[in-house]
């Protein structure tokens, strides 16, 4: 469980990035944190594994205050994938990158080999096993960074803009994997501008603006409310826009994902 209470944070430049943020994320939850640039999203989630410490207030992970724990200790349970993979990658080959943390955490050689192979297959990176990550595209480097964290199987996973540079197929693989993690009781927190991806996942949605939380609720509730989304400069998902228009014909307007839209439309067609 992640518990943030009245968290304030100011950078050395005196910019106040967080202004009294309180949020509890329970074990097994999938939470999307959304908002415009400068809202404080990335600053906030960097408190979850101790990369940043509150200027005031407290952040606890499984009951332990992050200010009293090292990043290395917290990282074993809280995996963090940066928005920019170049801030995370440093090894000579993709397999070395994925295996680095596994070695540091004391995994046995056979387990390391198995976890590397598993992560490469999961993120469609097998052909790049012996390649330098810095020779890959931005989207591929993003997947290497994700693979390097997923390999050690952290209890909680924080993803900062995970869909940047990914095509639809990779986004769908990521969505399915997140759903799989949830069935295993894992906690997933994603910072993202990708409203369409969030709509397909339908997680709990937290909206931030100017260092504060302005809305918190179920994805279907938040992502079909134009007034709430406007607070954080977010537009309705495309399907929600369509069904907002179709509601005049008696169709529900709280539809945000493709499968539910298909079911509703087929049911409506069957009644004609």
Summarised one tens digit per residue, pLDDT across range 118-146 is 999 988 899 999 999 999 998 899 899 99
Q: Tell me the two tokens of residue 24.
A: 């509890």
pTM, rounded to two decimals:
0.90
What's the CA gap between 4 and 174, in Å, rounded?
27
SS3 158: strand
DSSP assignment letter at 237? P
CA atoms of 134 and 91, how far apart (whole Å): 9
Neighbours of 266 (CB within 10 A): 9
pLDDT, one tens digit per residue, over 192-246 is 999 999 999 999 999 999 999 999 999 999 999 999 998 888 999 998 898 888 8
* Distance in angstroms (rounded) separating the CA atoms of residues 125 and 111: 19
Query: What pLDDT was estimated at residue 270?
Result: 65
**pLDDT digits 0-9 by tens, 34-62:** 999 889 999 999 999 999 999 999 999 99
What is the rounded CA–CA span in Å between residue 77 and residue 63?
Answer: 13
Could you tell me how many residues make up the chain? 272
The answer to whether the CB of 187 falls within 8 A of the CB of 27 is yes
CA–chain centroid gap for 108, Å, is: 29
Secondary structure in 3-state letters for 20-54: EEEEEECCCCEEEEECCCCCCHHHHHCCCCCCCCC
Proportion of the chain above pLDDT 70, given as a percent:
99
Q: Between the CA of residue 133 and those of 46, 81, 122, 139, 158, what are the distances in Å?
A: 24, 15, 17, 11, 21
Q: Over range 72-100, report the average pLDDT.
A: 91
- For residue 10, give the 3-state DSSP assignment: strand
What are the start-end ranges of the H helices in 82-218? 94-104, 109-122, 138-150, 168-183, 195-201
Give the residue extent of every domain in the chain.
237-272
């Amino acid at each position: 469980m992640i518990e943030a209470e009245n968290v304030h944070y100011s950078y050395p430049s005196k910019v106040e990035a967080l202004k009294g943020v309180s949020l509890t994320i329970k074990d097994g939850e999938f939470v999307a944190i959304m908002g415009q640039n400068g809202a404080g999203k990335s600053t906030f989630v960097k408190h979850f594994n101790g990369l940043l410490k509150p200027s005031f207030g407290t952040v606890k992970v499984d009951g332990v205050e992050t200010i009293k724990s090292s990043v290395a200790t917290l990282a074993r349970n809280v995996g963090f994938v940066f928005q920019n993979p170049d801030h995370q990658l440093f090894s000579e080959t993709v397999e070395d990158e994925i295996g680095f943390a596994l070695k540091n955490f004391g995994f046995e050689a056979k387990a390391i080999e198995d976890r590397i192979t598993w992560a490469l297959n999961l993120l469609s990176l097998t052909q790049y096993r012996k390649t330098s990550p810095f020779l890959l595209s931005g989207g591929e480097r993003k997947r290497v960074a994700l693979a390097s964290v997923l390999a050690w199987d952290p209890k909680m996973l924080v993803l900062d803009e995970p869909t940047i540079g990914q095509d639809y197929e990779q986004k769908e693989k990521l969505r399915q994997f997140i759903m799989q993690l949830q069935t295993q009781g894992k906690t997933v927190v994603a910072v993202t501008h990708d409203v369409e991806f969030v709509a397909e996942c339908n997680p709990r949605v937290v909206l931030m603006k100017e260092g504060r939380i302005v809305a918190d609720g179920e994805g279907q509730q938040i992502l079909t409310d134009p007034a709430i989304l406007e607070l954080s400069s977010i537009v309705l998902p495309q399907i929600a826009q369509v069904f907002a228009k179709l509601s005049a014909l008696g169709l529900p307007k709280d539809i945000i994902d493709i499968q539910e839209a298909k079911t509703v439309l087929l049911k409506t067609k069957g009644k004609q």
